[in-house]
Chains A and B, each alone.
Chain A
Amino acid sequence: GAGVSQSPSNKVTEKGKDVELRCDPISGHTALYWYRQSLGQGLEFLIYFQGNSAPDKSGLPSDRFSAERTGGSVSTLTIQRTQQEDSAVYLCASSLVGGPYPQETQYFGPGTRLLVL
């Protein structure tokens, strides 16, 4: 596609329910990232996939959060037993190659706005 796409755009759920957020990266991009933007914390890194390597999960806030990337393309971020503090905008980004010191641009999707009641 022309850019990074995410779905759904908005999600309202009840505390304790599970949610799945989807990200479609730019075609041909091998690196994919998830970030979260919340009022009190700003923009923070969650997880990073590069090619077929094991993902860097160092930013996931708890074991209720998990993500997978199928076929080196689409990624799903799953939040189990949602809590009110999970309310935030979840942003996905992709870049061409990635790596520890890439000299390239990350492109962001429009985000999914999650509200946990």
Chain B
Amino acid sequence: GIQVEQSPPDLILQEGANSTLRCNFSDSVNNLQWFHQNPWGQLINLFYIPSGTKQNGRLSATTVATERYSLLYISSSQTTDSGVYFCAVYSYGKLTFGQGTILTVHP
């Protein structure tokens, strides 16, 4: 099956810093999503981004489908950005998730 790898596994930032999270996948996809899992365990949709670039406030994402990777940018990080960030790709009826990046933002 398709493999999804995320890096870095852990990231610690001071409030106000910028960061880039990476997601590599092993096969071509037409559906890729980024999620934020908050401290209560809820998976919150950030982006549906099979290709191209999207922006939503301080967050933006870019997927280069031909090179099989996606990037999530967080600018001017806030403590509320803390949590786990997952990318997931859709293949044969299911989402396959990466192992996640644990982000901690200190005040």
Chain A CB count within 10 A is highest, among B35, B95, B100, for B95
What are 22 A-B interface contacts by the 8 Å CB criterion?
A33-B94, A35-B95, A42-B99, A42-B100, A43-B86, A44-B97, A45-B95, A48-B94, A50-B93, A89-B41, A98-B93, A101-B30, A101-B90, A102-B31, A102-B90, A103-B30, A103-B50, A106-B95, A108-B43, A110-B40, A110-B41, A113-B41
Chain A CB count within 10 A is highest, among B33, B43, B97, for B43
In the complex, which residues 3-54 of chain A have their Cβ closer than 8 Å to any Cβ of chain B?
33, 35, 37, 42-45, 48, 50
Q: How many A-B residue pairs have CB under 8 A?
A: 55
Majority SS at the chain A contact face: strand
On chain A, the number of residues with a Cβ less than 8 Å from chain B's Cβ atoms is 28
Report the minimal beta-carbon distance from B25 to chain A, rounded to whole angstroms.
14
Which A residues contact B (CB, under 8 angstroms)? 33, 35, 37, 42-45, 48, 50, 56, 59, 89, 91, 93, 98-108, 110-111, 113
When distances are taken between beta carbons in the complex, the residues of chain B under 8 Å from A42 are 97, 99-100
Which B residues contact A (CB, under 8 angstroms)? 30-31, 33, 35, 40-43, 45, 48, 50, 86, 88, 90, 92-97, 99-100
Complex CA gap A69/B99 in Å reads: 29
Query: CB distance B45 to A107 under 8 Å?
Result: yes
Cβ 8 A contact of A45, one of B31, B35, B94 = B94
Q: A42-B100, A104-B48, A105-B33 are in contact. Are A110 and B42 (CB under 8 A)?
A: yes
When distances are taken between beta carbons in the complex, the residues of chain A under 8 Å from B92 are 100
When distances are taken between beta carbons in the complex, the residues of chain A under 8 Å from B94 are 33, 45, 48, 56, 59
Report the minimal beta-carbon distance from A59 to chain B, rounded to whole angstroms.
7
Complex CA gap A45/B92 in Å reads: 11
